[in-house]
Every structure is written in C-alpha cells, then in structure tokens.
C-alpha cells in the first residue's frame, strides 16, 4: 500500500507532496502517476476567478491511502467523484467512517479543512474526481448567495451522515465528463472553467435552497444504504447507451427494492423516472459526441443504439429542440 499524508490545502503544494512521495515529475501542472502505482494523472488548475481545482483520473495498480490532517486555516473542499470500487473504499471525516465495497457510484461531497479527512482504495479501483477549493471570502466575492455561512456549518456538522453525500444527476454527469474529456479538445480550458463553475453554483444553490427552507430536506430522508443502492442503479443506467436500458426487474434486484419502491425512490432522489433518466443521459451523450466533431450523425446514432436515423433525430429534437445536423455547425 502507498500512503500519503499531507497538511496542505493549496493544490499546487498538494501536487508537490504527491510528486515527492511518488517520485514523479510535475509537468504543465500535471502529475502523471508512475505505472507501479496507477495508470492516470493528477492535474492542478486555477480558474480565472482564483478558484483552485485538483482534477484526477486513474486506475490503481496498488492499494492507496490518502490522509489530510485538519488545519486552523478554514477552507472548503467540494469533491465530485466517480468511483468504481474493485474491493473496498473507505472515507473518514474526523472519527466518522464510511466503508463501501464492489460497486460504482458518482457523488458530491463537501468537507472542510477544519476536519481530518482520509480515503483509502484497493488495487483495481478506478477514480475520476474534481476537487474544488474555496473560502468564505471567495463565496461572498464571486457568488450571489446570501446567508450561506450558517447553512455550510449545519451541513458540515453532519460529516459522513447520508446528508453529506449528494448523487450526480444528468447535469452534473454531463459537465463532469466534459471536464474529464479529451485534454486536446478545442477550447478545453474555457470548457473546464465554465463547467466547474456550473457544478459549484448548482451544488451551493441547491444546498442553500434545501437547508434554508426545510429543517430536514425531504429528498434527504432516504436512508443512507438506500441512497447507495440507488446510486448503483444510476451507474447501470449510464453504463452503456448502445443497448436498451436494463429491465426494471434487474434494477430492482440491484437496489434490493420492489419495483414500485425503486421507481418512487429513484424519482425522489433524481427528480425524474428511471427510463426518462436513461433517455436524458443518452441524449446528453449524443450532444457531447456531436460537439466533439469526431463522428458523423449516422455513427453517433449507431453508437447510441439507433438503427433508424430518423428516430435518433426525433429523440434529439425532443430533448434539445434542435436537430443533430443543426448542432454540428455550432462551435
């Protein structure tokens, strides 16, 4: 197992600590992880508004333990994570633990530098992550959100309780995938900046709305173990758009719920029903493929399971009110 302990919150210093421990070189703000540890990278990015980000995408070739000790300097860390767990994954905030095993999940987690934080993952685990660092001063300067301090404190006091994990929805996943997309894509830096800001603003605005108007948000009353199982259902829905979605009978077994309970709780957590979620995800994937300018409309339709191009065009227009062919010429 490789263990890395660090105290830094400045992400360039975090990257330097990782570089020293891994005996690897940082080039163009990117640390390519040595093959004996993992296949992938950590990348530092600073947005034009001063927001610091640490972007990572790797598959572990050994067990990894990361631990950040608490600091007297107050910062907030907003984590967007997509993790495919090979065996076990641990998340620790102060003395609270969560253990997960052998499933895939995508979630959002807000922590603070005032708490100890640690995570460990076993060999074979795939991690894709965007960590965003900000301060109260940054919030007041760049985001028009009033009275957020008390809400942030209430949220953070929940630590590893299920209130502290928000699942990805279609919007989060679409923006997340664009940030972690082709690093050579045209206008990649503006795309990264725009999408990260959309993700941050969405999370903080949702947090404000939920905690400002309700003592306990209704959408968060789903028990933690059920939230995890619903996240696993969501991962199956977005796994492969080239084939029809898994039958509801299969998904209900994944969730260990009756089909009726699954339908109701999935809609409660994600806002739309199971198969509408699949279709929205498929159309977002289509849009991303079109905007990449790498494939023809026919090729994209085929990749997404459409044998009839007219059906693909109709589904796309229903979602975005424009035809795929019209989007091709937009930059």
Query: What is the DSSP secondary structure assignment for residue 207, as one 8-state letter?
Result: H
Query: What is the DSSP secondary structure assignment for residue 284, as one 8-state letter?
Result: H
pLDDT of residue 239: 87
What integer is the mean pLDDT of 1-21? 91
Please state at what angle helix 259-270 crosses helix 248-255, rounded to 10 degrees: 80
pLDDT tens digits, 58-93:
999 999 999 999 888 888 889 999 999 999 999 888
List domains and CATH numbers for the chain.
Answer: 2-214 (2.60.120.10), 224-327 (1.10.10.60)
pLDDT for 214 beyond 50: no
pLDDT band at residue 155 under the 50/70/90 scheme: low
pLDDT of residue 154: 66
C-beta of residue 133 within 8 angstroms of C-beta of residue 75:
yes
Of residues 26 and 207, the one with the higher pLDDT is 26
pLDDT for 143 beyond 60: yes
DSSP labels, 155-198: HHTTTTSGGGEEE--HHHHHHHHHHTS-TTSTTHHHHHHHHHHH
Of residues 189 and 308, the one with the higher pLDDT is 308
């Amino acid at each position: 197992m490789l263990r890395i302990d660090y105290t830094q919150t400045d992400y360039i210093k975090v990257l330097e600590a990782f570089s020293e421990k891994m005996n690897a070189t940082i080039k163009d703000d990117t640390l390519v992880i040595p093959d004996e540890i993992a296949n992938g990278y950590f990348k530092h990015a600073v947005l034009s508004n001063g927001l610091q980000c640490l972007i990572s995408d790797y598959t572990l070739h050994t067990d990894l333990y990361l631990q950040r000790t608490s600091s007297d300097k107050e910062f907030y860390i907003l984590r967007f994570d997509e993790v495919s767990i090979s065996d076990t994954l641990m998340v620790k905030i102060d003395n609270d633990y969560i253990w997960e095993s052998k499933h895939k999940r995508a979630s959002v987690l807000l922590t603070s530098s005032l708490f100890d934080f640690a995570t460990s993952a076993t060999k074979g685990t795939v991690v894709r992550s965007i960590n965003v660092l900000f301060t109260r001063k940054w919030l007041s300067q760049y985001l028009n959100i009033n009275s957020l301090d008390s809400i942030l404190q209430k949220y953070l006091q929940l630590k590893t309780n299920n209130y502290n994990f928000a699942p990805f929805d279609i919007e989060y996943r679409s923006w997340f995938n664009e940030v972690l997309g082709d690093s050579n894509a045209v206008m990649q830096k503006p795309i990264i900046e725009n999408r990260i800001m959309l993700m941050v603003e969405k999370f903080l605005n949702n947090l404000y709305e939920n905690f400002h108007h309700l003592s306990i948000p209704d959408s968060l009353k789903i028990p933690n173990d059920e939230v995890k199982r619903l996240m696993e259902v969501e991962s199956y829905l977005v796994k492969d758009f080239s084939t029809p979605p898994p039958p509801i009978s299969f998904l209900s077994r994944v969730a260990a719920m009756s089909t009726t309970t699954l339908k109701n709780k999935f809609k409660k957590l994600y806002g739309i029903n199971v198969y509408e979620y699949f279709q929205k995800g498929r159309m977002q994937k289509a849009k991303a493929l079109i905007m990449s300018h790498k494939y023809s409309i026919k090729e994209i339709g085929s990749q997404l399971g459409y044998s009839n191009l007219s059906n693909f065009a109709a589904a796309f227009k229903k979602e975005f009110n424009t035809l795929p062919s019209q989007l091709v010429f937009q930059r």
